[in-house]
Structure 1
Amino acid sequence: MRLNDLDERIVHALAADARRSYADIGSEVGLSAPAVKRRVDRLRAEGAITGFTVRVDPVALGWETEGFIELYCRRHTSPDAIHRGLARYPEVASASTVTGDADAIAQIFASDMRHFEQVLERIAGEPFVERTKSVLVLSPLLRRYSSGAPG
């Protein structure tokens, strides 16, 4: 499914603040509140909008250390096996298969350096993992959230 310009503007408005009223969004995009609601309902039904959420600063939850772990997996490890293995760790914020030498990369949030090291050791011990390489985030410079194509 490809969003038209109006739907994309509605999605951008919701991504910036999902608590905005349909009337407020409608005044921005030139539609009535009921028309915006109908479009949002359709976008949800078609799977373009998959849900609404809140973004929380990880530090507020006690997750003060952030890093990335590159996973180098044993031969014939499927993306599904990597997903199943990493899904058990609450510290894994995101994970993706990637191009390059590594097979996958996982974004980790931990309470401190020791906690990060423990998570790294546990992930490195997974049966599908051959080796890992990790980097720690010093300062996040830019974060963008799912709001469609840059506008």
Structure 2
Amino acid sequence: MDVFDKKILEMLKINARESFANIGKEVGLSAPAIGKRVRQMEEEGIIEGYALKVNHEKLGIETKAYITLVIHRGPKVASDAQKQILAMEEVQSCDRITGDDCLCVLGYFKNNKHLISFLEKIAEYGASKTSIILEV
């Protein structure tokens, strides 16, 4: 991976739909050369995919929160809880973590009442601690 590839990745991180021609102008290579480099990075697994960025506020999401869970019944239960929590529509991510907590959940909620309902739902898995995101 050289400086050209790094610059291409930087531009694709900002806008994954940027044209190869525009990237080429910025980087100093032709559009076909950019296309070849992008395909090579995809084949090598450097680029794993392209994501959609959504304005959640326009969809009625007022509350975003990180929720950590302490599960005292062992790693198998934590793994099962992680799978079940990931399947919930509010959940954006659910990661196993080190430290006193077992899971860290990122959730998007319509409002605080919706968040409370979600917390009541996941209480069966363990003790939770919630941090509401004020600004991204």
Calculate the TM-score normalised by the size of structure 2.
0.88
- Consecutive unaligned residues of structure 2, counting only runs of 5 or more, are none
Counterpart position of 1:70: 68
Aligned to 2:111: 112
Partner AA of 2:37 in structure 1: R
**1:18 and 2:4 correspond:** no
- 2:30 partner amino acid: S
Where structure 1 has 5 or more consecutive residues not aligned to the other structure, the ranges are 143-151
C-alpha distance in 1 between matches for 2:32 and 2:82: 40
Q: 1:7-38 CA distances to partner (integer Å, 9 max, x unpaired)?
A: 12111101101121101101111211001101
Match of 1:148 in 2: none
- Which secondary structure state, in structure 2, belongs to the residue aligned with residue 85 of structure 1? helix
Task: Find out whether 1:85 has 2:84 as its counterpart.
Answer: yes
Match of 1:94 in 2: 93
Give a deviation string over 1:29-57, Cα, whole Å, max 9, x none: 12110011011111112221122222112
Q: Secondary structure at the match of 1:120?
A: helix
Quick one: percent identity of the two aligned structures?
32
In structure 2, which of residues 23, 36, 44 is the aligned counterpart of residue 46 of structure 1? 44
Q: SS at the partner of 1:77?
A: helix
How much has 1:80 moved relative to structure 2?
A: 4.3
Deviations 1:46-76 (A, max 9, x none): 2211222221121111111111110112212
Inter-CA distance 42–99: structure 2 relative to 1 (3 Å threshold): same
Structure 1 position 36 matched with structure 2 position 34: yes
Q: Tell me, what secondary structure is at the counterpart of 1:51?
A: coil
C-alpha RMSD over aligned residues: 1.7
> Normalised by the size of structure 1, how large is the TM-score?
0.80
Aligned residue pairs total 135
Deviations 1:78-133 (A, max 9, x none): 764343122211211122222321012111100011111111111222xxx22211
